[in-house]
Amino acid sequence: MYTLVVIIHLIVCLFLIFIILIQSSKGAEMGAAFGGSSQTLFGSRGAATVLSKVTTIAAIVFMLTSLLLAVFSINRGSVVSSVPVKESPAKMPETTAGPMQEQPTAPGQGPAPMQQPAAPAN
């Protein structure tokens, strides 16, 4: 069902873009009005054209499919929550030295000196 809604949504998106781009804008008549056209500058356009009716229907279908996809996405969960998590305890690296002994260092190097805290200046 989700895949079907996505396919319908994509088709309606492309159709809506196409329908909007092929329509003439309201500003097209305004330029003609200054040139002596008989049309009014901001008058009524008369009955709605077929393209404007198709645009309205496509916009309603687009909004409905958007709403359906939002509802489906809530039920599907996120991608992060669907990834299984491996539960394994963290292992400490095994060393030959005991817990209180110094770790071996590279040959020729001694242990790193510990830094003493600086005395407060009065």
Calculate the CA 96 to chain-centre distance. 51
Q: What are 52-101's pLDDT values in tens digits?
A: 889 999 999 999 999 999 988 887 766 566 666 677 766 766 666 555 55
pTM (2 decimals)? 0.48
**Joined tokens for residue 48:** 């709605």
How far is Cα 48 from Cα 51, in angstroms, rounded to an integer?
8
As a whole number of Å, the CA-based R_g of the chain is 36
Given a cut of 60, whether residue 43 has pLDDT beyond it is no
In the chain, domain spans: 2-39+49-79
